[in-house]
Amino acid sequence: MLRKAGARLMQGNEACAEGAIAAGLRFFAGYPITPSTEIAEGLALLLPKVGGRFIQMEDEIASISAIIGASLAGAKSMTATSGPGFSLKQEGIGFAAYTEVPCVIVNVQRVGPSTGVPTAPAQGDVMQARWGTHGDHPIVVLCPSSVAETFTLIIEAFNISERWRIPVIFLMDEVVAHMREKVVVPDVNGIPVVERPRPQVSPDDYLPYAAGEDLVPAMADFGTGYRYHVTGLTHDQTGFPTTKRPEVDALARRLDGKMKKAAPHVTFVDELFADDAEVVVFAYGITGRAAAKAVRDARAQGLKAGLVKAKTLWPFPDEHVRRLAQRVRAIVVPEMNMGQMVREVERAAAGMAKVVGLSRVDADPITPDEILARLREV
Amino acid sequence: MRKEIRLSGTGGQGLILAGIILAEAAIHDGHEVIQTQSYGPEARGGASRAEVIISDEAIDYPKVGVPDVVLVMSQEACDRYAAQVKAGGVVVVDETNVKSVPEVQGARVVRLPITDIARHEAGRQVTANMVALGALVGIAELATPGATERAIRERVPRGTEELNLKAFGLGMERAREAFGAA
């Protein structure tokens, strides 16, 4: 099965594939695109060894559709792509969010829009990951900054998606995806793996979209005698379409409420020297690594700097940033885009701390020195 | 201890594999390590670059700044990277492919006919990356020879272990001679 536990050199995309298998992934459908291709390559080798299925589909829309179908049949499912493919998958992502089908969509970001620079790094898909598909919808977006974190965080992606029946976007970047670093692979038997809630009632009594207190309906595997209707149309508790105003309202509010209930359990943030910091960097993905170096260098020069590294981008860690803004002078937000998360930081900081962006959009990653210079200015 | 290494040349020379093997050898030696790479859209012929950072401490930022050790295996790579090296560092030049070396300040330049050694002494040109790896390990002490040999055995295609190890050994030996004489 998987290669054994212990320290070894692993690529980010390889960690994504192996972590997904450890989380219980058994169905992958995809259409290759750099810089995500090694995920598909790895899973083409690994999935058959664990009794899973790998399918290279004819395009990206077919890929997202296939994983939704496989998930309805009970398999933990994933697809992987980059920006151009992520744009195509939006329709399916909306369907999965509305029909509450657990699935994981990996987007290894490269420079965009459109074909952009194949295949240099960027972080330009942050807002698309949240709002790429139309209509209000629940979504969780996780973002790793190292190979080791890719392995552990992709497992969280599956656990969150299964527990809450919410599609999870796993937002990587080209640097993290392609670099290799030493990873201490944990013993797979020791990794907590979560399964979706399944019905405790007989097929006759099953209401596929009736939810209990946690607002998450139990999900029956297709082919096990629980026959129900799945539609992208607004639906009632039976799964059949409705246009009745109270039912339309109830579904929108339940999905929003479910996201709010999930939020405290799915929002992960790491801190470095943040406790007594006067100026703080808010960063994510590969930029978080440059920021860690910048903060250490700043400390060595006597500047009380700290780092908040978001592993969850959506739901945005509002509360964390709000508390931070109460005690620091300024928050620097370096991003490989023209300023996407910086607006969320500004919103959460609500004027309590100065918020300053730092954009780099020339297809190279932001360096520690660039962040350090900005820290010294604010 | 922290060492940054840049391996540069042309796609098809096996530089990324050499970088991976060096990184794995460093892990066997108990170090922290990061390997990154950059290459053009072509599988062969375009510029290719692999970078490795070996450290005793956790590595925050994965990209190499000014490296301690530079390998240049094409004229283009030499023109671009040979002069970007730390003071006290080493530049290893494959003189089979590189005809002119720009002035390098404060670092040792070791010229070695890497590709010719692979072709004529190891017996296969394709082992030039292992000759180069031997040269780097032989003079810059990036990883122990034993750990590197183990990493080579674990990575190269089955049946080619002895050929690759022979090339590695030749690189180490010839580089030490050249380094002593330089």
Each residue's pLDDT tens digit, A291-304: 999 999 999 999 99
Average pLDDT over residues A267-289: 97
CB burial string A268-302: b at 16+ within 10 A, e below: bbeebbbeebebbbbbbbbbbbbbbbbbbbbeeee
Nearest 10 degrees: Cα torsion A252, A253, A254, A258: 110
What residue in B sits closest to A147 (Cα-Cα)?
A: B34
Distance CA B174, CA A266 (A): 56
> Tens digit of pLDDT for each residue in A306-349?
999 999 999 999 999 999 999 999 999 999 999 999 999 999 99
Rounded to a whole number, what is the distance in Å from the CA of B26 to chain A's nearest CA?
A: 10
SS3 B64: coil
pLDDT of amino acid B126: 96
Average pLDDT over residues A107-116: 96
CB A376 within 8 A of CB A296: no
CB A210 within 8 A of CB A237: yes
Say how far residue A177 (Cα) sits from the centre of its chain: 14
What residue in B sits closest to A368 (Cα-Cα)?
A: B61
Report which DSSP code applies to A205: G
Range in A34-38, A213-217, B43-47, B95-99 the model is least confident about: B43-47
Residue A188 has pLDDT above 90, yes or no: no
Name the β-bridge partners of B34: A181, B53
For chain B, what is the domain count?
1
Close Cβ partners of A353 (under 8 Å, ≥ 6 residues apart): A324, A325, A326, A328, A329, A330, A331
Instruction: Calculate what percentage of chain A has a pLDDT beyond 70.
Output: 99
Q: What are phi and psi of A194, to 5 degrees?
A: -100, 140
Q: Are A182 and B37 in contact (CB < 8 Å)?
A: no
Set of chain A residues whose Cβ sits within 8 Å of the Cβ of B35: 9, 179-181
Measure Cα distances from A59 to A102, A125, A244 in Å: 21, 20, 36
Nearest 10 degrees: Cα torsion A82, B43, B34, B8: -140
Q: Are A292 and B24 in contact (CB < 8 Å)?
A: no
Domains and CATH numbers, chain A: 6-190 (3.40.50.970), 203-266 (no CATH), 270-377 (3.40.50.920)
Residue A360 has pLDDT above 80, yes or no: yes
What single letter denotes the amino acid at residue A180? Answer: R
Rounded to a whole number, what is the distance in Å from the CA of A374 to chain B's nearest CA?
A: 17
CB A325 within 8 A of CB A350: yes
Which pTM was predicted?
Answer: 0.95
What single letter denotes the amino acid at residue B92? Answer: V
Instruction: Calculate what percentage of chain B has a pLDDT beyond 70.
Output: 96
Question: How many A×B Cβ pairs under 8 Å?
Answer: 50
Which residues form the domain of B62? 2-181
pLDDT of amino acid A119: 78
- For the record, the structure tokens of A166 come out as 């919410």
Residue A141 has pLDDT above 60, yes or no: yes
**DSSP H helices in A73-170:** 83-88, 90-99, 126-131, 147-164
Residue A2 has pLDDT above 60, yes or no: no
CB B40 within 8 A of CB B165: no
State the best of A9, A38, A185 to mutate against chain B, taking most chain B CBs within 10 Å.
Answer: A9
Q: Are B60 and A292 in contact (CB < 8 Å)?
A: yes
pLDDT of amino acid A187: 84
State the best of B60, B64, B154 to mutate against chain A, taking most chain A CBs within 10 Å.
Answer: B60
pLDDT of amino acid B175: 94
Q: For all residues of chain A together, what is the average pLDDT?
A: 96
Query: Please, is A249 exposed, middle or buried when counting C-beta atoms within 10 Å of its C-beta (0-12, 13-18, 19+)?
Result: exposed
Residue B43 has pLDDT above 90, yes or no: no
Range in A43-47, A110-114, A226-230, B35-39 the model is least confident about: B35-39
Set of chain A residues whose Cβ sits within 8 Å of the Cβ of B152: none
Average pLDDT over residues B99-125: 95
Residue A92 has pLDDT above 70, yes or no: yes
Residue A250 has pLDDT above 70, yes or no: yes
CB B61 within 8 A of CB A289: yes
Q: What are phi and psi of A40, to 5 degrees?
A: -65, -45
Instruction: Kindly give the pairing relationship between strand A117-121 and strand A104-111.
Output: antiparallel
Set of chain B residues whose Cβ sits within 8 Å of the Cβ of A365: 63
Residue A166 has pLDDT above 70, yes or no: yes
pLDDT of amino acid B40: 64
Instruction: Kindly give the pairing relationship between strand A312-314 and strand A305-310.
Output: unpaired
Residue in B20, B27, B36 nearest the CB of A182:
B27
Q: Are B63 and A367 in contact (CB < 8 Å)?
A: yes
pLDDT of amino acid A1: 41
State the best of A182, A307, A371, A372 to mutate against chain B, taking most chain B CBs within 10 Å.
Answer: A182
pLDDT of amino acid B73: 97
What single letter denotes the amino acid at residue B156? Answer: V
Which CATH number characterizes residue B17's domain?
Answer: 3.40.920.10
Distance CA B34, CA A337 (A): 25
Residue B88 has pLDDT above 70, yes or no: yes
- For the record, the structure tokens of A47 come out as 């999935």
CB A128 within 8 A of CB A86: yes
Asked if A290 has any chain B CB less than 8 Å from its own CB, the reply is: yes
Average pLDDT over residues A180-200: 91
Asked if A354 has any chain B CB less than 8 Å from its own CB, the reply is: no
Rounded to a whole number, what is the distance in Å from the CA of B33 to chain A's nearest CA?
A: 6
